[in-house]
């Protein structure tokens, strides 16, 4: 008797079971995302076409996806995409996969800027995929953003994401270490928005292998105590902030107290607060530059 063909439904069942047995997180969702990507369709297409037979070539490619996922590679690097702020972003192992927590930073920027009537200048330091710069460029008509990263590959991808989301004319990309691009130019920004590397060395070794082995270490590693980049930014941001400007920075879940101490000690800020995320964890520093 001929073997029954592999249909979408049969493949989803098989893959979900296989992922479950091998302790892959969210097995069904993961299988659906990979299969939808393979077929260049959305997940709804799968539900509406459960009986569609799979072709031999499709099955062979899908097998490579399953193998990569099983080795711990995140879905987003296999599909090359991640949605953030309801926008599409291309991602690859040169950049951090944008996280939903970073939307708290965006909300803080939106609240601070309100509805500006004149052009605002904003610096996104450590732009990675361009998630912050691109999303904010979509939110404001009158905005000029400078987005920097020390990784050339990240800057290249962020530029592609700006084009993809049609905001390339609003963002100027620079490959530079920290604030070095501004040492000889006196640019001033209303906001420095940044999600720096803030994972401590102890935390790094405890990260799930999907993150530790696949996401770029330079995007995560904040030195022995996780505060190396944060300290640098708190110290240097006032020089590029305009009067009444704000440093709005993502921080680690338990860094609120130490970050508050650093801001207080710097004496460059008039006021500051730590904003929690939806899980009640420390997530964003908002610090207003002293007049």
Ligand X SMILES: C[S@@+](CC[C@H](N)C(=O)[O-])C[C@H]1O[C@@H](n2cnc3c(N)ncnc32)[C@H](O)[C@@H]1O
126 touches ligand X (CB under 6 A): yes
108 touches ligand X (CB under 6 A): no
27-38 and 56-70 helices cross at what angle (nearest 10)? 140
Piece of the chain touching ligand X by CB under 6 A; list 28-36, 67-75, 115-123, 124-132: 124-132
Using CB under 6 A as the criterion, what x/- string covers residues 142-181 for binding ligand X? Answer: ------xxxx--x----------------------xx---
Residue recorded with tokens 């879940």: 253
Q: Which is nearer to ligand X, 151 or 255 (CB)?
A: 151
Residue recorded with tokens 């640098």: 232
Q: Shortest approach of ligand X to residue 42 CB, angstroms? A: 24
96 touches ligand X (CB under 6 A): yes
> CB–CB of 189/240 below 8 Å?
yes
Piece of the chain touching ligand X by CB under 6 A; list 92-100, 110-118, 239-247, 252-260: 92-100
Range 213-243 burial, b when 16+ CB lie within 10 A, else e: ebbbeebbbbbeebbbbbbbbbebbbebbee
Q: What is the rounded CA–CA span in Å between residue 73 and residue 68?
A: 6
- Which DSSP string do the residues of 5-73 spell out, in sequence order? PPBHHHHHHHHHHHHHHTT-SSHHHHHHHHHHHHTTS-HHHHHHTTTPBPPHHHHHHHHHHHHHHHTT-
Q: What is the rounded CA–CA span in Å between residue 245 and residue 187?
A: 13
Residues from 199 through 238 that contact ligand X (CB under 6 A): 218-219, 229
Contact residue for ligand X among 76, 82, 135, 195 (CB under 6 A): 195
Q: Which is nearer to ligand X, 75 or 151 (CB)?
A: 151
3-state class of 107 per DSSP? helix
81 touches ligand X (CB under 6 A): no
Q: Which is nearer to ligand X, 54 or 233 (CB)?
A: 233
Q: What is the rounded CA–CA span in Å between residue 215 and residue 225?
A: 20
Q: Which is nearer to ligand X, 27 or 128 (CB)?
A: 128
Q: Which is nearer to ligand X, 8 or 145 (CB)?
A: 145
Q: Which is nearer to ligand X, 65 or 85 (CB)?
A: 85
- Site of interaction with ligand X (CB under 6 A): 95-96, 98, 102, 126-129, 131-132, 148-151, 154, 177-178, 195-197, 218-219, 229
């Amino acid at each position: 008797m001929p073997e029954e063909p592999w249909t979408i439904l049969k493949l989803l069942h098989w893959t979900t079971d296989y992922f479950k047995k091998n302790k892959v997180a969210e097995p069904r969702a993961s299988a659906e995302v990979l299969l939808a990507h393979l077929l260049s369709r959305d997940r709804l297409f799968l539900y509406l076409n459960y009986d569609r037979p799979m072709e031999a070539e499709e099955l062979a490619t899908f097998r490579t996806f399953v193998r990569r996922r099983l080795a711990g590679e995140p879905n987003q690097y296999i599909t090359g995409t991640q949605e953030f702020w309801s926008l599409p972003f291309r991602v690859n192992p040169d950049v951090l996969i944008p996280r939903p927590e970073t939307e708290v930073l965006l909300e803080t920027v939106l609240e601070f800027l309100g509805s500006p009537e004149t052009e605002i200048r904003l610096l996104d330091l450590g732009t990675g995929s361009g998630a912050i710069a691109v999303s904010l460029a979509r939110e404001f008509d009158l905005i000029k953003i400078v987005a920097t990263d020390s990784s050339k590959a990240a800057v290249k991808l962020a530029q592609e994401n700006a084009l993809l989301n049609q905001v390339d004319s609003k963002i100027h990309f620079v490959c530079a270490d920290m604030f070095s691009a501004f040492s000889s130019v006196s640019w001033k920004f209303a906001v420095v928005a940044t999600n720096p590397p803030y994972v401590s060395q102890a935390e790094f070794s405890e990260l799930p292998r999907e993150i530790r082995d696949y996401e770029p270490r330079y995007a995560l590693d904040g030195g022995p105590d996780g505060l190396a980049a944060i300290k640098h930014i708190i110290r240097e941001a006032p020089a590029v902030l305009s009067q009444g400007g704000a440093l709005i920075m993502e921080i680690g879940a338990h860094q609120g107290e130490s970050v508050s101490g650093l801001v207080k000690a710097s004496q460059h800020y008039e006021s500051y607060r730590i904003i929690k995320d939806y899980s009640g964890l420390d997530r964003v520093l908002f610090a207003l530059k002293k007049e």
